[in-house]
Amino acid sequence: MPTGLIKRGGNYSWVIHARDSDGTMLLGDFNDGSLSGSLTFSVAQ
């Protein structure tokens, strides 16, 4: 993760999207089934 991306006092939502490494659309690219649930969190000031 790049330095400075997450900042104090910020609210964030995290979703992971699995992608097939060879680019085959059938196995994960842009398929709703390859998305994780949303995780929401905040960073204290």
- State which amino acid sits at residue 23: G
Residue 1 inside a domain? The answer is no
Residue 33 inside a domain? The answer is yes
Residue 37 inside a domain? The answer is yes
- State residue 6's pLDDT score: 92
pTM: 0.56
- State residue 18's pLDDT score: 73
Q: pLDDT (tens digit, 9 = 90+) per residue, 5-36?
A: 999 999 999 888 776 666 665 655 555 567 78
**DSSP code per residue over 25-43:** GGGTTT-GGGBPPPEEEE-
Residue 5 inside a domain? The answer is no
Residue 2 inside a domain? The answer is no
Domain that holds residue 18: 10-43
Count CA within 13 A, CB hemisphere, residue 12.
12
pLDDT at 42 over 80: yes
How many domains does the structure of the chain reveal?
1
- In the structure encoding, which two tokens stand for residue 33, read together? 């089934």
Residue 3 inside a domain? The answer is no
